[in-house]
Amino acid sequence: MFERFDTPEEIFSYKLGSALSMERQLVGLLGQLEQCTLREEIRHPLAVHRKETLQHIANIEHCFKLLHEAVDDSPCGVIEALANESKTMIKKSDDSLPDVLILAVATEAEHYEIAVYETLIANAEARKATAVAKLLSENLAQDKHALTVARTLMTTILEQGIAVA
């Protein structure tokens, strides 16, 4: 959509579109991670967050409507790179180890999402787009919670010993 950025609003719109692309990619990644996990205590939170991610997509699409802009899903290479790395690492790992890798990918993705949303919210607030900032803040809160869950699960698994018999 943009070949050149001339205003902060154009950058914001591009980044909002990139967040939309990010969330769409995450739906697929979370589904793949669900299928690879060996533990139900990991599978369930991944499924819950996948459903939340579908709401994140709807929230971002609504942000475009509130801004009276066409929905644009600008590219987001970060999540694609994380997905590719996780597939490669799971293939290279012992069959008893995918859960630690899955939680690492989930943690990395949540950190990235949090950074994206914090930036978008700051921009929305600067534009006085309070309804947009509110929707993005809802996404941010759920991602922060998902990060806490992933960290807690990772700590528990590492303390118990990584491998599953």
In this predicted model, what pLDDT tens digit does every residue of 21-65 receive, in sequence order? 999 999 999 999 999 898 999 999 999 999 999 999 999 999 999
Residue 3 lies in a domain: no
Instruction: Please state, in angstroms and as integers, the Cα–Cα distance from residue 126 to each residue in 9, 14, 65, 129, following that order.
Output: 10, 16, 18, 8
Residue 156 lies in a domain: yes
**Residue 1 predicted with pLDDT over 70:** no
pLDDT above 70 covers a percentage of the chain that reads: 96
Q: How many domains does the chain have?
A: 1
115 within some domain: yes
**Burial of 43 (C-beta count, 10 Å sphere; 0-12/13-18/19+):** middle
Predicted local distance difference test score (pLDDT) of residue 156:
92
Residue-level pLDDT at 75: 81
Range(s) of the domain holding residue 84: 8-160
Share the mean pLDDT of the chain. Answer: 92
Rounded to whole angstroms, the Cα distance separating 17 from 79 reads: 14
Mean pLDDT for the stretch of residues 149-164: 85
CB atoms within 10 A of CB 69: 15
CATH of residue 149 = 1.20.1260.10
- What average pLDDT does the segment 4-22 reach? 94
Is 66 among the domain residues? yes
pTM for the model: 0.92
Q: Taking each helix axis as running N to C, give the angle between helix 77-92 and helix 8-36, from 0 to 180 degrees, rounded to the nearest 10.
A: 20
Tell me the residue length of the chain. Answer: 165
Q: Is residue 128 part of a domain?
A: yes
Residue 14 belongs to a domain? yes
Contact 64, 70 (CB under 8 A): yes
Asked if pLDDT for residue 164 goes beyond 60, the answer is no
Looking at the domain assignment, is residue 2 inside a domain? no
